[in-house]
């Protein structure tokens, strides 16, 4: 084991790039889970992976190519009339087929296909860092306005209808934000690692939180702690980052669910006790 | 005479084809008006038409300019997992116009998904009444309520007479008679 590698300046840029994404993706995951749209993250990640590879084939860096597919997916999701999870399942299938076909038919694509799945965080350069920084800063600012509207629209759809306020623009804006986040996450952390950062912290937070702010704090906390641990473990033990992050997230989730008591649930029976 | 908040004149409304009407009624500020009718008579469609979410085929539906509406649909959204407590719930409903009744206070620190069906229903009703919308529309608010819960809801609505304008849809005639100052019958 080489502990010195943790303090090697060579890895500072990758670490900060991933850290910025690990702050935002769990928050998006909490909102996606509230909207019952968490599968969208996996669909968008697959499209981002596929378009990242297509971009490489024509000489466009993954960090620029991946968002194109994800944004296209977000627009289809926003304006298409699909019921339930249909559109997300289609995104996953299209992205999966395209990624493997491109990987199978190009030399570069084969290597990059593996890299996208496993994560190529250690190759993050200043382009990735600047992209992640702009994205994280924009997300923090936008979510201040966006999140309350999205929560309110989810819980009280009658408000949205009757006040003649269009919440559609906020939904579209959120979809685009998720698409960009998944594209950046897929291009740096890896496809499944980016999805895991969206899915697992939110899943645990929904089980354990006593109120909304605590839910956001738990989600962000689990995401960040897992990211830092995974980064260190992968470097010291020379492991691929993506699977390491997913494994650490799952371990954290199991420990949190075992040692942190969930609020008592009552059956939602028609009978009441007032 | 003060301008009506809402006035329907020969209103026929529905979706791809007419479902309800013709109806003529008006709603003045401070009214708690009950809409009574059998299941399937189109009561909920009328609320949708008022909210601009159903098609008006004939007649007129006039609203006071700038009218704001809070509308609780027949089934308030209750997710399997809701990591919000009662305070969060009322905050996102913007129900900060007046404090909740004392009997709702003990539930505010609890997670929404740990409340019983009746407790959640009453909190959902208050999420509408506690805001500052000009008109509150409640669709079958007695769903999930046992007699105690229905009594509390009746007291809340009775208290609101003259203070808030409420359009109340129910198929329970007795509940409407206790809660409303006027009842409008809708025939299928």
**Residue A3 pLDDT class (50, 70, 90 cuts):** confident
Residue B138's H or E segment, with its range, is strand B135-139
When the pLDDT of each residue in chain B is averaged and rounded to a whole number, the result is: 88
Cβ within 8 Å, pair B84-A214: no
Q: Which two tokens stand for residue B87?
A: 């305070």
| Predicted pLDDT of residue B134 | 87
Q: How many CB atoms lie within 10 A of CB B187?
A: 9
Whole-complex ipTM: 0.85
Q: Which CATH number fits domain A3-257: 3.40.50.720, 1.10.3470.10, 2.60.40.10, 3.20.20.450?
A: 1.10.3470.10
**Residue B100 pLDDT class (50, 70, 90 cuts):** confident
| Predicted pLDDT of residue A236 | 92
What is the model's pTM?
0.88
* Pick from A185, A260, A258: nearest CA to A223: A185
**Residue A270 pLDDT class (50, 70, 90 cuts):** very low
Q: Find out whether A76 and A40 touch, Cβ atoms under 8 Å.
A: no
Task: Please enumerate in sequence order all residues whose Cβ is within 8 A of that of A255, keeping only pairs 6 or more positions apart, or say none.
Answer: none
Cβ within 8 Å, pair B114-A264: yes
Domains of chain B: 29-43+67-185 (3.40.50.300)
Burial class (CB in 10 A: 0-12, 13-18, 19+), A183: buried
Cα–Cα distance measured from residue B187 to residue A255, given in angstroms and rounded to the nearest whole number: 59
Chain B closest CA to A184's CA: distance in Å?
28
> B85 in contact with A at a CB cutoff of 8 Å?
yes
Cα–Cα distance measured from residue A188 to residue A25, given in angstroms and rounded to the nearest whole number: 13
Cβ within 8 Å, pair A152-B92: yes
Instruction: Express the helix, strand and coil content of chain A in percent, nearest 5 each.
Output: 80, 0, 20
**Residue A31 pLDDT class (50, 70, 90 cuts):** very high
Q: A6 pLDDT exceeds 90?
A: no
Chain A hits for B123, CB-CB cut-off 8 Å, are none
Cα–Cα distance measured from residue A236 to residue A218, given in angstroms and rounded to the nearest whole number: 27
Cβ within 8 Å, pair A272-B116: yes
Which site among B69, B72, B83, B136 would you substitute to test the A interface, given the most A Cβ atoms closer than 10 Å to its Cβ? Answer: B83
Lowest mean pLDDT among A218-232, A253-267, B38-52, B142-156: A253-267
Q: A274 pLDDT exceeds 50?
A: no
Lowest mean pLDDT among A204-208, B72-76, B160-164: B160-164
Chain A hits for B111, CB-CB cut-off 8 Å, are 209-211, 263
Where do the domains of chain A lie?
A: 3-257
> B70 in contact with A at a CB cutoff of 8 Å?
yes
Chain B closest CA to A257's CA: distance in Å?
15
Chain A hits for B85, CB-CB cut-off 8 Å, are 210-212
Q: Find out whether A26 and A33 touch, Cβ atoms under 8 Å.
A: no
Radius of gyration of chain B (CA): 16
Cβ within 8 Å, pair B92-A215: no
């Amino acid at each position: 084991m080489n502990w010195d590698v943790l303090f090697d300046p060579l890895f500072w840029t990758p670490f900060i790039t991933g850290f910025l994404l690990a702050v935002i993706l769990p928050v998006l995951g909490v909102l996606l889970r509230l909207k019952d749209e968490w599968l969208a993250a996996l669909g968008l990640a697959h499209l981002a992976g596929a378009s990242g590879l297509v971009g490489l084939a024509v000489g466009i860096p993954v960090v620029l190519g991946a968002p194109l597919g994800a944004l296209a997916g977000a627009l289809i999701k926003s304006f298409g009339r699909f019921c339930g999870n249909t559109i997300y399942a289609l995104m996953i299938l299209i992205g999966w087929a395209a990624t493997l076909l491109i990987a199978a038919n190009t030399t570069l694509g084969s290597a990059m296909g593996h890299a996208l799945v496993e994560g190529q965080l250690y190759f993050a350069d200043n382009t990735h860092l600047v992209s992640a920084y702009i994205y994280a800063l924009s997300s923090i600012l936008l979510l201040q306005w966006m999140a309350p509207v999205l929560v309110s629209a989810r819980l009280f759809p009658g408000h949205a209808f009757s006040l003649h306020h269009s919440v559609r623009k906020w939904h579209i804006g959120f979809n685009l934000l998720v698409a960009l986040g998944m594209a950046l996450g897929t291009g740096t952390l890896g496809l499944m690692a980016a999805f895991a950062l969206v899915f697992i912290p939110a899943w645990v937070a929904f089980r354990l939180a006593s109120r909304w702010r605590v839910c956001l704090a738990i989600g962000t906390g689990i995401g960040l702690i897992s990211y830092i641990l995974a980064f260190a473990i992968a470097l010291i033990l020379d492991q691929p980052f993506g699977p390491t992050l997913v494994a650490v997230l799952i371990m954290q989730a199991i420990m949190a669910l075992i040692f942190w008591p969930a609020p008592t649930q009552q059956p939602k029976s028609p009978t009441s006790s007032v | 005479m003060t301008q009506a908040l809402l006035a329907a004149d020969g209103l026929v409304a529905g979706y791809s084809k007419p479902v309800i009407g013709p109806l003529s009624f008006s709603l003045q500020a401070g009214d708690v008006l009950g809409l009574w009718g059998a299941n399937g008579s189109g009561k909920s469609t009328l609320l949708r038409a008022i909210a601009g979410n159903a098609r008006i085929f004939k007649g007129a539906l006039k609203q006071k300019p700038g009218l704001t509406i809070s509308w609780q649909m027949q089934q308030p959204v209750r997710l399997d997992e809701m990591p919000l407590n009662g305070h969060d719930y009322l905050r996102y409903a913007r129900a900060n116009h007046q404090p909740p009744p004392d009997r709702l206070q003990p539930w505010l620190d609890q997670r929404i998904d740990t409340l019983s069906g009746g407790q959640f229903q009453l909190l959902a009703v208050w999420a509408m009444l506690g805001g500052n919308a000009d008109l509150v529309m409640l669709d079958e608010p007695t769903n999930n309520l046992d007699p105690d819960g229905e009594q509390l809801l009746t007291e809340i609505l009775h208290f609101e007479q003259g203070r808030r304008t409420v359009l109340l849809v129910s198929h329970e005639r007795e509940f409407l008679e206790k809660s409303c100052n006027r009842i409008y019958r809708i025939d299928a």
